[in-house]
Structure 1
Amino acid sequence: MRELASRIPLPRHRAADLERYRGRLASFATTSGERFVASCWDESPFGSWCGLLVAEADGCRTLYVESEILADDVRLLHDIDNVVLADVRIAQAGQEWAVEVDPVEGPPLSRLTLTLGSPTRRGAVISRLPSSVTETRGFAWFTEIMLRVLSLGVSSFRGSSRTRV
C-alpha cells in the first residue's frame, strides 16, 4: 500500500498559481460585543475593492461589499449570514482610517473612524522583513502559530480557504 501511495502525485501549488491579495485590514470590537473588520484590497483577482464585515454580539455576520461575486469570494473564508450590496470606501491618512458604507438600498451607515495605534514590537520586526519571506506559505504557517500562542487564540486562515486546495 505504501508503494502505491508514493506513486500517486499530490497536487502542488506554484507561487504563480496562487491568488494574491495585497492590501490592508483593520479590526476592532466594542465593549457590547460587536466586531468590525474593514478591508481594503489594492490588488486581488477582482481588482481593487473594499469591504466591511460586521459581527453582532449574537454572532450574526453581515458583509458589506459592492458585488455578489466579491461576497462569494469572502464566503470561501468566512461564514456570512447576510450580504448587503454597498459602496464601501476606506480612506487612510496616516494612522487614521475613515470607513464609509453606502448601501444600494436603504440609508447610508454611519461613518466609522479608526485611529490605529503604534505597531507592536512583533509588528515592527515583521514589517522590516522582505516580501520574499513574508509572502511564503511557511511564513504564514509560522505566523498562525505565533498568533495563537502569543495573542491568546487569535488565528488567521494561512492563505487558503475552506473550499480551495
Structure 2
Amino acid sequence: MTSARPGARPKRLRFDGWIAGLGTAAGVRLVVGYWPLSPMGPFADVMVERADGRRVLLAPSERVADFVAATYRFDDVVICPVAVEPGRERWTVAAGPLRLTFAPGPSTALGRLLRLVPCRLATSPGWAALCDVPARLLMPGVRTRGSAGSGRREWYAARDLRVVTTAHATWDGTDLGALGPVWPPVRFGFGSVPRRPSLTRVVTTVELQRERRRTQASKRSL
C-alpha cells in the first residue's frame, strides 16, 4: 500500500460508477459496486453481510481485494469473477455464489436535484462535509464522508438516486427471498447505504494517508 511521505500531499483515488444496496427476506444485505472508471480500470465488487452478521467481500482480483479490504472491514474475502451487466430496466450480477437481478425505477426527486449539482462542486470534500448532516437526518445510517481503514479518508458524491423496485437473489442456488430494506445497516465502513433499496450514481474519493497495520480477513479464491 502507498504511504504518504512527511509533508507530502496525500494521494487521492477516484472511483466513478454506481452503488446498489438492497436487503432480502433471508436477512442477507447486498452492496454492489460497479466502477467503469477507476485507478484500477473497470471492475465490480460485492459486499455481503449475512443474517448472522458475517461480512464477505466478493472481489474479481487480488489487487481489488487488497485495496477494498484495506479500506473497509470484512470477515472473509473471496476472489472470484464478478460480472455486472447494467441496463435501463434491469441489472444482472454474477459473483461467485451470488446471482442477482434487480430493476431500478426512475430517478427520485432527490436524484433529479443531485443531477443539477456541478460535478466539480459535488466531488469536493467541502460539499461532502456540507451534505453529511442532512444525509444522516434524511437517511439514517448514510454518511457522505468519514475515516476509512488504514488511516484513509473517504467521501461520496451522489449524482443520482433511483429506487430498486424488484429483485431476485440466490446464494449457492438458495433463494434469498423477497426484496427488503437494508436493515440493520451494513457494517463495512463508516456508513451504510440507504435503508430503502436503491441504486445510486456516485463518485467515491479515497485519500491515502498513513497506512496502519490491520488484521487481514481470511481470503480464498473460487
Q: Same fold (TM over 0.5)?
A: yes
Q: What's the CA shift for 1:70?
A: 1.1
Match of 1:75 among 63, 69, 76: 69
The letter for the 2-side match of 1:121 is: A
Partner of 1:57: 51
Instruction: For residue 153 of structure 1, give the secondary structure of its aligned residue in structure 2.
Output: coil
Q: In structure 1, what is the Cα distance between the partners aligned to 2:32 and 2:90? A: 13
Q: CA deviation at 1:72?
A: 1.8
CA contact (8 A) 1:137 1:159 kept: no
Residue 21 of structure 1 aligns to a residue in which SS?
Answer: strand
Q: 1:37 aligned to 10, 31, 34, which one? A: 31
Q: Find the aligned partners of 2:98 and 2:147 in 1 and give their Cα distance.
A: 32
Query: Would you say the 8 A contact 1:140–1:159 is kept in 2?
Result: no
Q: Would you say the 8 A contact 1:65–1:83 is kept in 2?
A: yes
Task: Name the residue aligned to 1:152.
Answer: 140
- Classify the secondary structure of the residue corresponding to 1:138: helix
Structure 2 Cα separation of the partners of residues 52 and 78 of structure 1: 12
User: TM-score when scaled to structure 1?
Assistant: 0.79
Give distance in 2, aligned partners of 1:12 and 1:160: 17
1:146 CA drift (Å)? 1.9
Instruction: State the percentage of identical aligned residues.
Output: 32
Which residue is 1:19 aligned to?
13
Structure 1 outlier segments of 4+, above 4 Å: 9-13
Higher helix share: 1
Indicate the structure (1 or 2) with the bigger Cα radius of gyration.
Answer: 1
Q: d(CA) in 2 for partners of 1:127 and 1:27? A: 20
* Offset at residue 66 of structure 1 (A): 1.3
Q: Which runs of 5+ in 2 are unaligned?
A: 1-5, 153-208, 210-222
After TM superposition, the score normalised by the length of structure 2 is: 0.60
- 1:97 matched to 2:85: no
Cα distance in 2 for partners of 1:71, 1:110 equals 17
1:51 counterpart SS class: strand
CA deviations 1:30-81 (Å, max 9, x no partner) are 1332110111111222111111111101110111111222112112332111
Match of 1:58, SS state, is coil
C-alpha distance in 2 between matches for 1:10 and 1:23: 32
Other-structure match for 1:127:
115
Structure scoring higher RCO (CA < 8 A, sep ≥ 6) equals 2
Q: Which amino acid aligns with 2:124?
A: T
C-alpha displacement at 1:98, in angstroms? Answer: 0.5
Aligned to 1:4: none
- Kindly indicate whether residue 131 of structure 2 is the aligned counterpart of residue 143 of structure 1: yes
Note the residue ranges of structure 1 that are not aligned, 5 or more in a row: 1-8, 104-108
Distance change (3 Å), C-alpha of 1:58 and 1:110: closer
CA RMSD of superposed structures (Å): 2.1
Larger relative strand fraction: 2
SS at match of 1:25: strand
